[in-house]
Amino acid sequence: MRTHVILLRGVMPTGKNRVPMAELRDVLASAGFENVRTYIASGNVVADSPLAEAAVAQKVQNLIRRHIGPELGVVVRSGADLATVLKKNPFPQGKQNQVLVTFFVDPIPGDFMDGVSTPGEEKVITGKREVYIHYPDGAGRSKLKLPKIAKAGTARNINTITRLIEMSEETVVQKVCSRGHTYTGSGTCPVCWPGRLKKRP
């Protein structure tokens, strides 16, 4: 069994890309993922599965489309992967909420920086499958331009990455429902109540 950190791309609090975290936990648990936990509402999941990274990403993407609706990109890493990303952070002096790491499925192309334009004080450094960006004045005010391929990634700040590493290392307390099924997370037992999951056309 492996512990995976699952990052959803494009989750929004409202509209067509809204993904309720409680519903997402139920969907994944009913599909065989274990110890399913989520962190804030932007699409961060920690869950156990024997599947490999690519298979987890494909399965989660299909489950969300089928039961919740949105067609979202999914990037998967291990807790150890995130710890390595954190260790290699080239901007340790930056505020944790002003340093973002954009995660990609595939390796960063060699010409990525050719499409970067930094009219302000932003700094961009590429890694193997990640791009580090320091926004000293905050991302909301930035006029930074990135190549089109950047849209395929999903960004998290250092605070979020640190918390996801912690969650991947935590011991999970299992619950037992009235019928004796073990499960984790909030909500009802996914074995007893699979009917609450919606199936989209």
- Sketch the domain layout of the chain as residue ranges: 2-78+170-196, 82-164
Task: With H, G, I as helix, E, B as strand and everything else as coil, classify residue 70.
Answer: coil
Partners of 156 in beta bridges: 101
CATH of 2-78+170-196 given 3.30.160.100, 3.40.50.720, 3.30.70.1280, 3.40.640.10: 3.30.70.1280
What is the helix (H) or strand (E) element at residue 159, kind and residue range?
helix 158-169
Is 70 exceeded by the pLDDT of residue 80?
yes
Sign of CA dihedral 90, 96, 98, 101: positive
Class of domain 82-164: alpha beta
Across residues 192-198, what is the average pLDDT?
57
Cα–Cα dist 94/82, whole Å: 18
Backbone torsions φ then ψ of 146, nearest 5 degrees: -120, 160
Confidence tier at 159 by pLDDT (50, 70, 90): very high
Confidence tier at 110 by pLDDT (50, 70, 90): very high
Task: With H, G, I as helix, E, B as strand and everything else as coil, classify residue 21.
Answer: helix
Query: How is residue 22 annotated by DSSP?
Result: H
Backbone torsions φ then ψ of 102, nearest 5 degrees: -95, 125
How far CA 116 is from CA of 111, 137, 139, 182, 193, in Å, comes to 10, 18, 15, 49, 49
> Does 82-164 match 2-78+170-196 at the fold level?
yes
Confidence tier at 134 by pLDDT (50, 70, 90): very high
Cα–Cα dist 10/158, whole Å: 18
CB–CB of 23/64 below 8 Å? no
